[in-house]
Amino acid sequence: MYTTEETYMNKNTDIIQLSQLTHLLLDKYSNVIGVQKNKNMSINRIVDSIADYYESIIECMPGNVYWIDKNGKGVGCNHNVLQMFGFTSLTEFKGLTFEEMGRAGGWLPAATQSFKQDTLEVIATGKAKLNIEEPPIPHSNGSIIYFLTSRVPLFDAMGAVVGVVGVSIDITERRQMEEKLRKAKEDAEAANRAKTLFLTNISHDIKTPLTGIISTTEFLSHAMQDSPFKSRIDNVTQSGLRLLELMNEVIDSARAESMKPLQTVVRFQVKKLVEDVEHLIKPATEHKSINLSVNCDENIPNILIGNRTYLYRVLLNLVANATKFTQQGEITISAKLVKEMKNEAVIKFIVQDSGMGIPKDKQAIIFERFSRLTPSYEGIYQGSGLGLSIVKQFIEEMQGEIYVESQEGKGSTFTCIIPFKKSLLEENILMDDKDLSNVPEVSVFNNQFADAKAVKEAMKSVSSKRSTAKILLVEDNLIAARAAKDILESLKSQVDTAHTGQEALNLFEVGKYDLIYMDLGLPDMDGCDVVKKIRLIENNAKNKSHIIALSAHVDEAINSNCINVGMDEVFTKPLMWDQAKGVLDTCPTSRCDP
């Protein structure tokens, strides 16, 4: 026991009696450690009481607490650490090296090395390492524990590192939950992929015979202009087109839901894109005597960079909806510059109509999947209820926003606000405009909105002076091939058919073709592979064949792949009469001449 004659030097170098120090300690800690003041209490007892107090705090901590000296040996720990090792007393922990701890705990070498490396780094740098996720460590009870650890340096009075204090929190339950969530996410993604694959496959299987039906009935309709059965045949064609449109919507919805957006960014002109939408929809509005007008802000930068395919699909869907729900009056498509920065321009697109309008209680749900203004069983308006949900998905992928204002009986206004990058160059270097005609809905809209009288007049206008085009039709489905051949021959073309990729190559090697329609899904090889070989055969020929891909469903990936291998255009099946005529009408004389 210390005596009052002994002295103590404090950090201010003042010499004080131990009795004075005792009083100072008692004044400072008596309330904290829960002891009564006693002038005869020794410093040892006070220090022991303080130590016991803080040790009890450490013991109560929910995690593992331990401290290591600067030589990397164990000095102390709480009861949780002893339990983890299966120790019964603190003396079993004291003095253990990293390797000895690893062996005592049955750790994997990676866990021992991680513990050692992090601790020595804290000692060497004097800087804490916080929130480290440790490799899994076995517990003495047989379980595997995951820890989130923070290690901080211990300093002496001179500021030198004398050790490390570690605090490890058991996050095993959290890790298990994360693993369950990860597994559930993987299972959900796998199920979603399986669903999308199923829909894609079943779509192809349904579309293959459906395209044969549509092509055949359309050909019969053109061939039987004066037949009393023509209207019945037209009904079959329109019903088939409607079913094809629904199939495309289901596939688009499945793709959007799978969260695999088509992020193709290209240079484009807003004015040209809006005019393309106007050109496609105009026959339908003229048929219903609706005035369709377009307003494009002259201040919009000439060239913008963004996902043109998504924007085209958004405007096309909105204007098609406006056409469907408007019986008279007008539809306006507007594009306005609302904000311009150094490298970005924000454009507002407005589609306004004077149609039936949307009830207020429906406006909050129209962007939900399968929502409709009227139930399908009422038969008032056709539609799957997927169009606007796809529009919303595409706009969100473009980092934009969409709003609707509507008054029942007076029309609706859809407003889309979308940011685009500005082009660094003002030259009109754009990607091929042909891809806009390859969006799946195009062939559907062209025929769904076709005026029968206009089609009949178009048939009469097929020029008898046009030189016969030599066409190679590659299609494995016999019915679809026959229907397409009938359409092409009715347009004064000479047609050879091939049902396999090898048969197509054999025909191409012995004869030159002005135009090739290439099915992508052939029984012996992919249509893209056939085109690669055709382009190699042509090599540096001056006049190469114009090649058009035919696919049951076209998306950006299919379109890009076809163009990259050397195809000129991509059409969605079925090949329609007016579509085929349009190709022949624009075919260069140098290639189509005999």
How confident is the model over 497-501, as a mean pLDDT? 93
Cβ atoms < 10 Å from Cβ of 496: 17
Is the pLDDT confidence value at 432 over 80? no
Q: How confident is the model at residue 1, as a pLDDT?
A: 39
Name the CATH code of domain 262-433 (choices 3.30.1300.10, 1.20.1530.20, 3.40.50.2300, 3.30.565.10): 3.30.565.10
Q: How confident is the model at residue 486, as a pLDDT?
A: 86
At 170, is the pLDDT very low, low, confident or very high (cuts 50, 70, 90)?
very high
Q: How confident is the model at residue 249, as a pLDDT?
A: 66
More confident: 444 or 197? 197
Q: How far apart are CA 377 and CA 372, in angstroms?
A: 11
Residues in the chain: 594
Q: How far apart are CA 521 and CA 518, in angstroms?
A: 9
Is the pLDDT confidence value at 397 over 70? yes
Start-end ranges of CATH 3.40.50.2300 in the chain?
190-261+462-594
Q: How confident is the model at residue 309, as a pLDDT?
A: 82
Q: How confident is the model at residue 40, as a pLDDT?
A: 54
Q: How confident is the model at residue 497, as a pLDDT?
A: 94
Q: How confident is the model at residue 235, as a pLDDT?
A: 77
Q: How confident is the model at residue 296, as a pLDDT?
A: 93
pLDDT tens digits, residue range 438-473?
333 333 333 333 444 444 444 444 444 456 789 999
Is the pLDDT confidence value at 35 over 90? no
Q: How confident is the model at residue 256, as a pLDDT?
A: 59
More confident: 575 or 169? 169
At 331, is the pLDDT very low, low, confident or very high (cuts 50, 70, 90)?
very high
For 571, the 3-state DSSP assignment is: strand
How confident is the model over 569-577, as a mean pLDDT? 83
Q: Environment class of residue 463 by beta-carbon count within 10 Å: exposed (0-12), middle (13-18) or buried (19+)?
A: exposed
Burial of 424-456, coded b for 16+ CB within 10 Å and e otherwise, reads eeeeeeeeeeebbbbbbbbbbbbbbbbeeeebe
For 391, the 3-state DSSP assignment is: helix
Q: For the chain, what percent of residues have pLDDT higher than 90?
A: 36
Start-end ranges of CATH 3.30.565.10 in the chain?
262-433
Q: How confident is the model at residue 85, as a pLDDT?
A: 94
Q: How confident is the model at residue 41, as a pLDDT?
A: 57
At 168, is the pLDDT very low, low, confident or very high (cuts 50, 70, 90)?
very high
Q: How confident is the model at residue 193, as a pLDDT?
A: 76
pLDDT, mean over the chain: 78
Is the pLDDT confidence value at 194 over 90? no
Q: For the chain, what percent of residues have pLDDT higher than 70?
A: 74
Q: How confident is the model at residue 437, as a pLDDT?
A: 37
Phi and psi at 274, nearest 5°, equal: -65, -40
Q: Which residues contact residue 341 at a Cβ distance below 8 angstroms, ignoring those fewer than 6 apart? A: none
Q: How far apart are CA 136 and CA 228, in angstroms?
A: 81
Q: 142's torsion region: left (phi>0), alpha (psi -120 to 50) or beta? A: left
pLDDT tens digits, residue range 63-118?
899 999 999 999 989 999 999 999 999 999 999 999 999 999 999 999 999 999 99
Contact 434, 552 (CB under 8 A): no
Q: How confident is the model at residue 19, as a pLDDT?
A: 55
Helix axes 441-448, 270-287, angle to 10 degrees: 30
Listed range (254-268, 305-319, 332-346, 390-404) with the worst mean pLDDT: 254-268
- List Cα–Cα distances, 564 to 433, 440, 548, 568, in angstroms: 15, 19, 13, 9
Q: How confident is the model at residue 82, as a pLDDT?
A: 93
Cα-Cα-Cα-Cα dihedral of 525, 528, 529, 535, to 10°?
140
Is the pLDDT confidence value at 348 over 90? yes
Q: How confident is the model at residue 549, as a pLDDT?
A: 92
Start-end ranges of CATH 3.30.450.20 in the chain?
7-175
Listed range (66-70, 185-189, 540-544) with the worst mean pLDDT: 540-544
Q: How far apart are CA 349 and CA 417, in angstroms?
A: 6
pLDDT tens digits, residue range 199-241?
767 776 777 777 778 878 877 877 777 777 777 787 777 777 7
Q: How confident is the model at residue 279, as a pLDDT?
A: 83
How confident is the model over 32-58, as a mean pLDDT? 60
What sign does the CA torsion over 210, 214, 219, 223 have? positive
Contact 78, 58 (CB under 8 A): yes
At 340, is the pLDDT very low, low, confident or very high (cuts 50, 70, 90)?
very high
Nearest to 347 by CA among 336, 357, 358, 363: 336
CATH of domain 7-175: 3.30.450.20
Q: How far apart are CA 428 and CA 301, in angstroms?
A: 12
Q: Which CATH class is domain 190-261+462-594?
A: alpha beta
Amino acid letter, 410: K
More confident: 504 or 209? 504
How confident is the model over 305-329, as a mean pLDDT? 88
pTM of the entire predicted model = 0.44
Contact 116, 98 (CB under 8 A): yes
Q: 519's torsion region: left (phi>0), alpha (psi -120 to 50) or beta? A: beta
Q: Which residues contact residue 570 at a Cβ distance below 8 angstroms, ignoring those fewer than 6 apart? A: 435, 438, 548, 549, 551, 554, 558, 559, 562, 563
Q: How far apart are CA 592 and CA 196, in angstroms?
A: 41
Listed range (262-276, 282-296, 382-396, 540-554) with the worst mean pLDDT: 382-396
Q: Which structure tokens are listed for 321? A: 């909806």
Q: How far apart are CA 266 and CA 268, in angstroms?
A: 6
Is the pLDDT confidence value at 393 over 60? yes
Residues facing 8 on adjacent strands: 16
More confident: 37 or 114? 114
Is the pLDDT confidence value at 481 over 90? no
